[in-house]
Amino acid sequence: MSSVWIEACAVDDIEEEDVLRFDHGGRSFAIYRSPDNEFFATDGFCTHQRTHLADGLVIGDTIECPKHNGRFNYRTGQAKGAPVCVDLETYPVRVVGGKVMIAFDQA
Q: Interface mask (CB under 8 A) for another protein, residues 28-57, using x and -?
A: --------------------xxx----xxx
Cβ 42 to another protein shortest distance, Å: 18
Which residues in the 67-96 window bind another protein by CB under 8 A?
67-69, 71, 82-83, 85
| Contact indicator for 33, 15 with CB cutoff of 8 Å | yes
Residue 27, interface with another protein (CB under 8 A)?
Answer: no
Cβ nearer to another protein, comparing 5 with 55: 55
Residue 11, interface with another protein (CB under 8 A)?
Answer: no
